[in-house]
Amino acid sequence: MKRVYIETFGCQMNVSDSERIATSLSKNGYQMTSDEADADVVILNTCSVRERAEHKLYTRVGEIRHSGRKKPVVGITGCVAQLDGETLFDKIAGVDFVMGTRATGRVVNIVDAAFTQRKRLVDLNEREDEYDWTVADTHRHSPYVAFVPIIEGCNKFCTYCIVPFSRGREKSLPATEIVAQVEKLKSSGVKEVHLIGQNVNSYRPTSNEGLDGFEGKSAFTRLLRAVAATGMDRIKFTTSFPRDFRDEIVDAIEENENLCNWVHLPVQSGSDRILERMKRGHTISRYKEKIDRIKKSHRNIALTTDIIIGFPGETEQDFEDTVSLFEYCEYDSAYIFKYSPRPGTPAYEMEDDVTPADKTLRFLKLQETQKKIEQRIHQRYLKQVLNVLVEGRSVRTENGYTGHSTCHKVVNFVSDEASLGEVRNVRITEIKSNSLFGEVAR
């Protein structure tokens, strides 16, 4: 039996794709291995959002080729594969096949062919209609947490982003299929699902089937309610796009305890001028209105964001506006990135005029601001009881466990009696920089 090692870079959608690739190969006579040295096939599932992720790929293929072990078949899939196609054969020596983001349903054909045909193989074609979105329990990244794609691709074309090119246009999955998947996951012991997509609020299936009878102006809100009605313990969703984020989403969270109290709402800049250059389609005042609604909720909704520092044309004042926005929003956490131009995007044609030194200074300043905000926010969790899904053993403490709260905080705690996969009430007793510590509440 041939063994396959898959390495995944990037976002949850890539993790989910890798899970389905593993499911499909296992059903067809291949065996997954976590030992790269033992593999007959190495698949690198790539990300092109950041320059560094792309460079890592080149390094990894080099390492695999020069490791001195048996030479495995090497395949590149994911966003870099979709964008670069067969040019990858020239860029990186030792690649046997290139498979685009929508070709994962044909992975068995391409891997089989790589063993029988002595030629380079490429599949960048569209997804087949009958594509199977399910993941076998054994190939999920966690036995208790599952990613459920609800929409793929993006139509927004923010000027810095490569996703609409690497993942194609938006395509929503039928609600009936999503709900059936969640029900199946529930019966196999999964406690938390993440409804995922580049922009989940744009969810717009071709048919209303499965959504009828659920309240909401947008299909996404109706879907949230339909998924909540399955009785799945915890439901999270990501990523939301500010322009499409409606107040009724917060209404749905307030009405359904199993819709978790966490919203990830990337703003990318605190300056209207830069948002316009980014073609984000929203203003800071509209964004703040949405934040106000979220903050007003009795569910204590945790708020996280993504931000780009040093976008072309960003002045000191634009940056200061971002710092002010952070103070206003009091994010629970923020992913702060320094801008790097991605070939093929409109922003690539703009002058990258913020110097690397200024990008670093602004990055450090915003990081420091966010650190102080987090310290403030985390103090609010002290003595609170959080509902934690026990996802693993903590390596640092005996009888230590780790998991996420409904508000998506990492919580570590010590217990003699907790079991993996259980949901526990944990009283927070200590705050550390990136996580909370506590004890099981009696």
The tokens for 442 are 């009696």
Could you say whether residue 335 binds ligand SF4 (CB under 6 A)? Answer: no
HSE-CB of 31 using CA atoms within 13 angstroms: 9
Alpha helices (H) in 28-93, listed in sequence order: 51-65, 79-84, 87-91
Could you say whether residue 274 binds ligand SF4 (CB under 6 A)? Answer: no
- The conformational region for residue 245 under phi > 0 = left, psi -120 to 50 = alpha, else beta, is beta
Reported residue count of the chain is: 442
Could you say whether residue 9 binds ligand SF4 (CB under 6 A)? Answer: no
Strand ranges (E), 89-130: 97-99, 121-123
- The contact pattern for ligand SF4, residues 211-250, with x = CB under 6 A and - = no contact, is ------------------------------x---------
- The contact pattern for ligand SF4, residues 111-150, with x = CB under 6 A and - = no contact, is ----------------------------------------
Could you say whether residue 198 binds ligand SF4 (CB under 6 A)? Answer: yes
Window contacting ligand SF4 (CB under 6 A); options: 50-58, 97-105, 135-143, 158-166: 158-166
Cβ closer to ligand SF4: 58 or 157? 157
Of 74, 161, 211, 219, the one binding ligand SF4 (CB under 6 A) is 161
Closest CA to 308 of 271, 256, 347, 269: 269
Closest CA to 367 of 391, 334, 414: 334
What 3-state class would DSSP assign to 342? coil
Could you say whether residue 151 binds ligand SF4 (CB under 6 A)? Answer: no
CA distance 391 to 414: 13
Window contacting ligand SF4 (CB under 6 A); options: 91-99, 154-162, 222-230, 392-400: 154-162
Could you say whether residue 58 binds ligand SF4 (CB under 6 A)? Answer: no
Cβ closer to ligand SF4: 157 or 335? 157
Q: What angle do CA 134, 139, 142 make, to 5 degrees?
A: 100
Of 164, 174, 346, 400, the one binding ligand SF4 (CB under 6 A) is 164
Element (H, E) at 164: helix 163-166
**Structure-token match 């899904």, residue found:** 389
Smallest distance from the beta carbon of 9 to ligand SF4, in angstroms? 16
Could you say whether residue 154 binds ligand SF4 (CB under 6 A)? Answer: yes
CA distance 428 to 250: 26
- Contacting positions for ligand SF4 (CB under 6 A): 154, 156-158, 161, 163-164, 198-199, 241
